[in-house]
Structure 1
Amino acid sequence: MATDLYELLMAQGYWLLGWAERRAVFNLFFRNNPFRGGFVLACGQESARDFLARLLFSERDLNYLASLRGGDGKPLFHPDFLRFLAEMRFRCDVRAVREGAVVFPNEPILQVEGPLLQAQLVETALLNLIGFPSLAATKAARICSAAGGDPVVEFGLRRAQGWQAGLTASRAAYIAGCAGTSNLAAGRAYGIPVRGTMAHSWVMAFDDEAEAFVAYGRAVPGNCIFVVDTYDCEGGMSQALAAAAELRRQGITVQGVRLDSGDLARWSREARRRLDEAGLTHAAVLVSGDLDEYRIAELKKQGACVNVWGVGTRLVTAFDEPALSVVYKLSAVVNRQGEWEDRAKISNDRAKRSLPGLPGVRRFYAGDRAVCDVIYDRRDGPPEAADAAKRFRTKVETQELLRSGACRGEDLLVPLMEEGRPVMAEERPVTDEGRPVMDEARPATDEGHPVTDEGHPVQPSCPLEDIRAYARAQLASLPEGVRRLERPERYPIVESAALRRRRRAAAAMVRRKIP
């Protein structure tokens, strides 16, 4: 029952009006790129599909709803409506961009078509399941871009807005390019590589810093990384090198040092120099401490010698913009004649207007490079490159590429569910023993297959490594200026001529209704 009260109040209204089965289309999209950036990396579609596949109201849910009272003191929900919910099963068609796709403002990320009551009811859950993962993935992509190919490890569970948010962020960050996570639950659930060093408390538990390092190396010889800034970076490095020499005599190899405070650019260079002079050229310098894309870019400009970046709080909380402007809007309903009627939000605030009809998105590529996106209505058919060229007024290079005949078009929205049934059949990630890697929050059969609350199998998910590879290719397809961290170029997006006409017609229809 992951929804807001008003969704169920409207659902009861549709049911009372006899509109429960009236066919409708809703679109989930966002209004503005976060972080003053040029794109969003869409994430969460797999979770959304799993949620919809097992959507039902339990006896406990229905008993709670029956207990609610309105302002008049009477039951808020009709008993017959609650019986309707008890028997309801999700039967909508769902289209979505592939997880890991790069998307832009006002383009549908996910589209639900089906019975009006059901399509409305899932709004809150879908906004939650798509919004935060996409935000975290986008932040992680920007951080990995700033790192310039250096590994980035996500360290954010302890600062996440709840355990489940930490799990979601770890998965999104890995899709976006992070090399691993400190989050063991994410490692177990999704097969993400787990990484860790030591806390300052380990050093503080000993009377002597060198003794702490030697003891740690003996305790964890396969993950011997020392945090060297507990008291003083210079002294910490000296003690780490002394401990490394002692451990080497015992056959234990130190794998690196971590800096978490101080002048990170200076001390990373100094750590690298001293490690190399000690013959520890293999040892990594790992840096952490309130890092984000801007801080990493600044440290690189200062000549920091860093092998691995540990990023936590500012990634998993999307620190500088903690919510994506995702919305879910009705765009069409079927009338009594069985025909689609367009619907659109017409607001005095232009930024809050929505698209009418059955929108789709077609991306044109020149080789592996994304050239532009065209938003169109599916009833009009996908646009051709030459037609798309006519919609650009100032982008001469884009016009020429589209007219050259060298561009191929690809529809971004692909079927995710048909009549409530998942349509994808890829295998989930597996353990070393070949068993599916499972999210501990999802019930499973003895064979390890995910199931609904009723025990019915849920369609296996796409392997996480495939999603990650797709995200990497999508990011690489963007023009360099669009990927830029600050003052990015605006990616070319236009609406088809037919969609523009539909938008004007929908606006005119709405204005005729205004007294």
Structure 2
Amino acid sequence: MFDIVSPEAIRDGRATDAYFERTRDALEGAGRDPHVVCEVTADQFPDGSFETFAGVKDAAHLFEGRDVTVHALGAGQLFDGGPVMRIEGSYLAFAELETSLLGFLSSASGWATGARRVVSAAGDDVSVLSFGARHVHPSTAAALERAALVGGVDGFSHVAAGEVLGREPSGTMPHALVICFGRGEQEAAWRAFDDHSPEDVPRIALTDTYSDEVDEALRAAAAVEDLHSVRLDTTGSRRGDFRHIVREVRWALDDAGHEDVGVFVSGGIGADDVRELRDDVEGFGVGSAISNAEPVDFALDIVERDGESAAKRGKLSGAKQVYRSGEDHVVRPADEPGPTDGRPLLRPLVEDGEIVRDFSVDEAAKRCASDAERVGFGDEE
């Protein structure tokens, strides 16, 4: 019914580019199957532009049961040049998996990097929710939301992704709810949401459907007892000075005795908006800045063949290790010592087809936050 490639096709290696099938035919016909070391990289050398590694769980399961050994960065690790993954085994044990592997890693790492950029801009005291699932194919929503969590968001809105990830989805209300009640009936819409939502759902009223944001915010605060927040989702074409609008709403709520009612902002919000608005805002709903983040342009290349260095032009031959040394990302040959204060980042992921690592989203998010602080990712200029 839907244009979705099945998990079975991915695991079996049929979700691949045709030339890998031709390669298998050629190698098998010629009686060749060298033992290789392959590396996944985005950039050969560090350039000071860090990105966040994600997609590790899916990658591990892709190799599960195959006669290969895989080392990789941890989910949430920031990287800047050099390999993020190293795969060792006979080439035909995993040749067709390259297309799916890069797809798993490229999109997820882009989403996690976008999320980390927004979360770093928000700071420690402001929540960020991922609202971007509507911008991706629904079959990838759980992968998107896992990557966003790795990047540090506090939650997400997608129901089915929550079922996959074991997380309760978050969300407020759409303009459609208010419009279904009609102009002048905003209070009825807000009260209906309050009356019929589970007790553990924060009461957040959308307050920019028909009237001025200040007007609807004050009406919502008066209409709903124990209102948690008001949400401003004003489209860019009507915003004007959005920071001024947000500050005016905050001032009006305080002046009317609603100091406990927060302000939540969504609608085309990016890291720069978050940085500008965060002092007056309790939380952000962020969509396209995460879901539309540019995928990381990973490539997979053979760097050793039958124990000898081998690589195409423009690629660095030989197996490598990467290290975190202070705030630096350091790339060295795997058979040479690393920096004296360096911590090796490529760690076992799959050994002889067996997954040897767990995939805690919370641990990955902690790793991401700690590493981002260490390397200064997202620091204001």
Compute the TM-score of the two structures, normalised by the length of structure 1. 0.66
Check conservation: 2:50, 2:78, Cα contact below 8 A.
yes
Counterpart-to-counterpart distance in 2, 1:356 and 1:37: 22
In the TM superposition, residue 268 of structure 1 has moved relative to its aligned partner by 1.8
User: Which of 290, 304, 314 in structure 2 is aligned with 1:332?
Assistant: 304
Is the CA contact 2:207–2:232 (under 8 Å) kept in the aligned structure 1? yes
Counterpart residue type for residue 204 of structure 1: I
Q: For residues 271-312 of structure 1, what are the alpha-carbon distances to aligned partners after superposition, in whole Å with 9 as ceiling and x for unaligned?
A: 222322343322221000101112222335xxx611001101
Quick one: distance in 1 between partners of 2:218 and 2:262? 16
1:473 match = 370
Q: Determine which of 323, 333, 339 is the counterpart of 1:377.
A: 333
Instruction: Say whether residues 1:227 and 2:202 are aligned partners.
Output: no
> Compared with structure 1, are the counterparts of its residues 211 and 278 closer, same or farther at alpha carbon in structure 2 (3 Å cutoff)?
same
Partner residue in 2 for 1:256: 229
Structure 1 counterpart of 2:4: none
Distance 2:266 2:21 in 1: 45
Percent identity at matched positions? 28
- Going from structure 1 to structure 2, the CA distance change for 1:281 and 1:148 (only over 3 Å counts) comes to same
SS of equivalent residue, structure 1 residue 332 = strand
Q: 1:165 to 1:18 in 2, by over 3 A?
A: same
For these two proteins, the number of residue pairs brought into alignment is: 356
Give the distance between the partners of 1:159 and 1:121, measured in 2 at CA.
Answer: 29
- Counterpart-to-counterpart distance in 2, 1:25 and 1:364: 25
Q: Residues of 1 paired with 2:21 and 2:337: CA distance?
A: 36
The SS at the match of 1:122 is helix
Q: Which runs of 5 or more residues in structure 1 are unaligned?
A: 55-89, 335-339, 347-352, 386-407, 425-460, 487-515
Question: Kindly tell me: are residues 412 and 185 of structure 1, through their superposed partners in 2, closer, same or farther at Cα, counting changes over 3 Å?
Answer: same
Structure 2 match to 1:501? none
In structure 2, what is the Cα distance between the partners aligned to 1:155 and 1:126?
A: 26
Distance 2:129 2:303 in 1: 41
State the 1:122 CA deviation. Answer: 1.7
Q: CA deviation at 1:466?
A: 1.5
CA distance in structure 1 between the partners assigned to 2:134 and 2:40 by the alignment: 30
TM-aligned CA deviation for residue 111 of structure 1: 0.8
Counterpart position of 2:8: none
Matches within 5 A, 1:21-60: 22-31=34-43, 38-53=49-64
Work out which of the two has the higher radius of gyration on C-alpha atoms and give 1 or 2: 1
CA contact (8 A) 1:257 1:285 kept: yes
Aligned partners of 1:308 and 1:133: how far apart in 2? 23
1:214 to 2:170 alignment:
no
Where do residues 24-423 of structure 1 align in structure 2 (5 Å cutoff)?
24-31=36-43, 38-53=49-64, 90-105=66-81, 107-149=82-124, 150-160=126-136, 162-207=137-182, 208-220=185-197, 222=199, 223-232=202-211, 233-244=213-224, 248=225, 253-261=226-234, 262=239, 263-300=241-278, 305-318=280-293, 322-334=294-306, 340-346=307-313, 353-365=314-326, 370=327, 372-379=328-335, 381-385=336-340, 408-423=341-356
Instruction: Evaluate the alpha carbon distance shift between residue 275 and residue 117 of structure 1 in structure 2; reply closer, same or farther with a 3 A threshold.
Output: same
**Offset from partner CA, 1:226-281 (integer Å, 9 cap, x none):** 1000012233224213313xxx3xxxx21111001124312222222232234332
Q: Which amino acid aligns with 1:382?
A: P
Question: How has the CA–CA distance of structure 1 residues 419 and 226 changed in structure 2, closer, same or farther, with 3 Å as cutoff?
Answer: same
The 1-side partners of 2:52 and 2:133 are apart by 21
Q: Letter of the aligned partner of 2:210 in structure 1?
A: Y
Q: CA RMSD in A?
A: 2.1
Distance in 1, matches of 2:330 and 2:232, equals 47
Higher alpha-carbon deviation: 145-154 or 205-214: 205-214
In 2, Cα distance between equivalents of 1:287 and 1:113: 47
Structure 2 residue identity aligned to 1:476: E
Equivalents in 2 of 1:173, 1:132: separation in Å? Answer: 11
CA positional deviation for 1:14: 1.4
Which residue identity does 2:371 align to in structure 1?
Q
* TM-score scaled by length of structure 2: 0.87
Secondary structure at the aligned position of 2:83 is classed as: coil
1:117 match: secondary structure: helix
Q: Distance in 1 between matches of 2:229 and 2:62?
A: 42
Structure 1, residues 425-464: CA drift from partner, whole Å, max 9, x if none?
xxxxxxxxxxxxxxxxxxxxxxxxxxxxxxxxxxxx3222
| 1:469 positional shift | 1.4
Instruction: Spell out, residue by residue over 1:373-428, the C-alpha distance to the aligned partner (whole angstroms, 9 max, x if none).
Output: 3322223x32343xxxxxxxxxxxxxxxxxxxxxx22111111111211122xxxx
CA distance in 2, matches of 1:384, 1:314: 36
In 2, distance between residues paired with 1:136 and 1:330? 27
- 1:485 deviates by 6.0
Task: Kindly report which structure 2 residues correspond to 1:456-467, keeping only aligned pairs within 5 A, or say none.
Answer: 461-467=358-364
Q: Structure 1's 383 and 256: CA in aligned 2 closer, same or farther, altered over 3 A? A: closer
Runs (5+) with no aligned partner, structure 2: 1-13
Q: Deviations over 1:122-161 (max 9, x none)?
A: 211110111111110001100111112211110111122x
Q: 1:205 aligns to what SS in structure 2?
A: helix
CA spacing shift, 1:472–1:238, aligned 2, 3 Å? closer
**Bigger RCO (CA 8 Å, 6+ sep):** 2
**Contact 2:108 2:295 (C-alpha < 8 Å) held by counterparts:** no
Maintained 8 Å contact 1:19/1:117: no
Aligned AA (1:264) = F
Deviates more, 1:183-192 or 1:91-100: 183-192
